[in-house]
Amino acid sequence: MYEGVVLAERYFQHTFGNGLTLLAERMPGMQSAAMTFLVNAGAATDPVDRCGSATVLSDLLLRGAGTRDSRQLTDYLDSLGLQRSSSVGIHHMRFGSAAVAAKVIEALPTYSDIVRRPHLPQDGFEAARDLALQALEGIDDEPRQKLMIKLREWYFPSPYGRNTMGRAEDLEKLTLELCKADWQQRFHAKDAIIALAGDVDFGQLREEIERHFGAWNGEAPGDVNVMPPPGRFHHEHQKSEQTHIGIAYPSIPETHADYYTVRLAIEVLSGGMSGRLFTEVREKRGLCYSVWAGYSSLKGSGSIFGYAGTSNERAQATLDCFIAELHRLQSGVTDAELQRAKIGLKASTIMQGESTSARAGAIAHDYFIRGRIRTLEEVKDAIDAVTVEKVNSYLKVTAPGPFTIVTVGPKELKLPD
Amino acid sequence: MYEGVVLAERYFQHTFGNGLTLLAERMPGMQSAAMTFLVNAGAATDPVDRCGSATVLSDLLLRGAGTRDSRQLTDYLDSLGLQRSSSVGIHHMRFGSAAVAAKVIEALPTYSDIVRRPHLPQDGFEAARDLALQALEGIDDEPRQKLMIKLREWYFPSPYGRNTMGRAEDLEKLTLELCKADWQQRFHAKDAIIALAGDVDFGQLREEIERHFGAWNGEAPGDVNVMPPPGRFHHEHQKSEQTHIGIAYPSIPETHADYYTVRLAIEVLSGGMSGRLFTEVREKRGLCYSVWAGYSSLKGSGSIFGYAGTSNERAQATLDCFIAELHRLQSGVTDAELQRAKIGLKASTIMQGESTSARAGAIAHDYFIRGRIRTLEEVKDAIDAVTVEKVNSYLKVTAPGPFTIVTVGPKELKLPD
């Protein structure tokens, strides 16, 4: 299907004078469209003593904007049938919507109101801050989520390892005035990305974005103080039935020529149900009920993250087995393993090509990381080009590590040397 | 898009002589296909003293079948690029797969092996049972999941309220021999459903299913002893930061003429972000970080389920507010609320129409509940036919309740009269 379409007819990319980039993908046969809107206001850009400002803003911005108060805004967006989301990542604040294509377009001026003309009301601020504090408290009831938060904190240099939900002591000191100042400082057109995929018309989109976002101006201050993480090993005591184990170590960035070599090696480790971790740790030894590893990307850096959830008495054996499997990668993968990994990765690329939401997210991510959209063909070709020789010579010279290891549970584990 | 396709060209339904039903939906423009395969072997059909037999079988069946041992089977299915799932529901054991269409078809004989010619090896049995026991223990670390399990147990008559993960004391007594006998008794063609959606050819599908499942025979014993639940109110003590609240009460079945009247009323309560629960409980009062209500279906019965997760000190106010909103429905909904609810429900129907996995699941569910596939047009028309008069006269005479209320947290709450 993709082969039959001239690339220029499927993809569209344009950066306006104010630094905002519009990306679009036409998906024949779809009635829907999806939007991913990224603003350069993620948790890493929170002021150093106001961690959680982004998460409060992501709620507060929706409590009235432009000519609509909070209730009118919510009612209006629902009356378009939009499936909406908003979230805070490390780099970006993200707004997502999906619906019948015409309605997603119709909502664009309202998203302009949300980022450029929010009301930021006092009562809304208090409710938003309370909810953020409650969500933060709730993490103690979710040891798996807690593990992943702690792992990021101990692995990434600050502020890239921040908990995107914020910090309780900072949230308590936050005021509406500080939030307003923060909104003014961070919400600007420069480096913002609006990506749409589905039944869209490039000309109309460009006009609409120009009309509603063209006069959005300014640039967010960009310097961030980077500090090393507190250490590489951490145990978080929790009276729980399970021990949760998190492992992270550095890899190459997505823009590196060997990116798919690494992706496919990790797919051999953890793709499908024939992945080594699943079969060795789970299927053969029954050590744990959940185990995986995956590649994870920040701008300019790549990492491998791994997780295992297991009963307390099997935790040590699970950690040992996990680390052994990571080291065993150095001895290489078989041709059959690589073939399965390639087929699996290509199949999920094809499936992604049938979802407007997945494609809107993918082209936005591509542009942020690489400065351009990749076609599905390009992804497929890059996967096909990886050979077992390439993978094995890469793995041979690339010892996994140094490991950051975080555990949550009732007992500390013995760490590998 | 749907209007342009003759219905007969989009949908296909055939019941073979052995009682197995094949359902299919052709989705123009898709390269992928998805399969939902339902066998009449859910948790409600577990022998009364062997709760969890289904969950162990759902793992064990995949540990070797036909000519392939456990490893070969996993490797083979992954080499087709299948995204796979298997799960145990109350009525059914479910196998799901999705991939490039030709590969989903290619895997059909293997799914025949899995249900008809599994190896059921001893070592695989032990690993599967251990994993089932570990998963069960893990629930203590997941108070939200625990709440939903307990709510079903206290709301539904047994065996329909069973925890599909099984019961620890039964799992501990389970043997491979008992599992084998159970497989023999429950895995039969009668009432099984295979549903495929995507880039499929009806003629080819029918031939393939006939060839590989045509000789599958027998009928599962159907009588189930129904027992009332233990009571309507239950508090599960847990030292947690949050209190989790679950509410359930009876509604009409999906086959009832007023089904969409109810669905839309609940959509007014909990659809989108303008839903009453979200705005009243969460947005206005900041009472809790998660709240929803939804319609839930078993064969022949319908129910409303509600959930709220909140800090311990706000739990009582949240429960009171939730119950008040349920009662307030009796005073009716506004025309604007109903219009938003209709648009929201139609939009999600359209989005579902663009996902092969969602459509395979939907036609299988339709057939199980109604004995036939509904077209997307039929669903849309049924939603359109609901008027505000219809909704309000239904709500006026239908007091919500009797409520079953389950809470998980450190403190019991005062229940409504």
Contacts of A285 in chain B (CB under 8 A): 127
Please answer yes or no on whether B354 and A356 come within 8 Å at the CB atom.
yes
Total length of chain B:
417
| Whole-Å CA distances, A308 to A180, A293, A416 | 41, 9, 16
- Residue B254 in this model has a pLDDT that exceeds 90: yes
Instruction: Give the pLDDT confidence score for residue A220 in this predicted structure.
Output: 74
**How many other CB atoms are there within 10 angstroms of residue B223's CB atom?**
5
Token code pair at residue B96: 């799901």
Coil, strand or helix at A306: strand
Instruction: Give the pLDDT confidence score for residue B218 in this predicted structure.
Output: 83
Q: Summarize the confidence of residues B383-407 as an average pLDDT.
A: 97
**Reported confidence tier of residue B1, pLDDT bands at 50, 70, 90:** very low
Q: Which of A122, A136, A273, A333 to mutate to test the interface with B (most CBs of B within 10 A)?
A: A273
Instruction: Give the pLDDT confidence score for residue A219 in this predicted structure.
Output: 82
Please answer yes or no on whether A354 and B353 come within 8 Å at the CB atom.
no
The partner residue sitting opposite B347, judged by closest CB among A30, A81, A144, is A81
Instruction: Give the pLDDT confidence score for residue A4 in this predicted structure.
Output: 33
Please answer yes or no on whether A348 and B83 come within 8 Å at the CB atom.
yes
Residues 6+ apart with CB under 8 A from A309: A144, A242, A243, A244, A245, A288, A289, A290, A291, B138
Please answer yes or no on whether B134 and A310 come within 8 Å at the CB atom.
yes
Q: For the segment B120-141, what is each residue's pLDDT rounded down to a tens digit? A: 999 999 999 999 999 999 998 8
More confident residue, B301 or B241: B301
Q: Which of A288, A310, A351 to mutate to test the interface with B (most CBs of B within 10 A)?
A: A351
Q: Number of H helices and number of E strands within chain A? A: 17, 13
Please answer yes or no on whether B272 and A84 come within 8 Å at the CB atom.
yes
| pLDDT less than 50: residues of chain A | 1-7
Euclidean distance between the first and final Cα of chain A, in Å? 51
The partner residue sitting opposite A127, judged by closest CB among B82, B83, B283, is B283
Instruction: Give the pLDDT confidence score for residue B5 in this predicted structure.
Output: 38
Nearest CA in chain A to B98: A351
- Residue B3 in this model has a pLDDT that exceeds 50: no
Contacts of B408 in chain A (CB under 8 A): none
Instruction: Give the pLDDT confidence score for residue B8 in this predicted structure.
Output: 59
What DSSP character marks residue A40?
A: S
Contacts of A282 in chain B (CB under 8 A): 131
CB A293 within 8 A of CB A270: yes
Q: For the segment B54-98, what is each residue's pLDDT rounded down to a tens digit? A: 999 999 999 999 999 999 999 999 999 999 999 999 999 999 999
Nearest CA in chain A to B60: A283
* Residue B380 burial by Cβ neighbours in a 10 Å radius (0-12, 13-18, 19+): middle
Please answer yes or no on whether B311 and A241 come within 8 Å at the CB atom.
no
Percent of chain B at pLDDT > 70 equals 98
What ipTM is given for this predicted complex?
0.92
Residues 6+ apart with CB under 8 A from A97: A34, A35, A77, A82, A83, A84, A85, A104, A107, A111
The partner residue sitting opposite A340, judged by closest CB among B75, B130, B142, is B75
Spatial separation of the C-alpha atoms in residues A103 and A114, rounded to whole Å: 17
Q: Which of B106, B114, B289 to mutate to test the interface with A (most CBs of A within 10 A)?
A: B289
CA distance A342 to chain B (A): 9
Instruction: Give the pLDDT confidence score for residue B276 in this predicted structure.
Output: 95
pTM: 0.94
Nearest CA in chain A to B132: A289
Instruction: Give the pLDDT confidence score for residue A5 in this predicted structure.
Output: 38
The partner residue sitting opposite A75, judged by closest CB among B70, B143, B274, is B274
Q: For the segment B161-175, what is each residue's pLDDT rounded down to a tens digit? A: 999 999 999 999 999
Please answer yes or no on whether A137 and B79 come within 8 Å at the CB atom.
no
Q: What is the 3 state secondary structure string of chain B?
A: CHHHCCHHHHEEEEECCCCCEEEEEECCCCCEEEEEEEECCCHHHCCCCCCCHHHHHHHHCCCEECCEEHHHHHHHHHHCCCEEEEEECCCCEEEEEEEEHHHHHHCHHHHHHHHHCECCCHHHHHHHHHHHHHHHHHHHHCHHHHHHHHHHHHHCCECCCCCCCCCHHHHHHCCHHHHHHHHHHHCCCCCCEEEEEECCCHHHHHHHHHHHHCCCCCCCCCCCCCECCCCCEEEEECCCCEEEEEEEEEECCCCCCCHHHHHHHHHHHHCCCCCHHHHHHHHHCCCCCEEEEEEEEECCEEEEEEEEEEEHHHHHHHHHHHHHHHHHHHHCCCHHHHHHHHHHHHHHHHHHCCCHHHHHHHHHHHHHHHCCCCCHHHHHHHHHCCCHHHHHHHHHHCCCCCCEEEEEECCCCCCCC
Instruction: Give the pLDDT confidence score for residue A134 in this predicted structure.
Output: 92
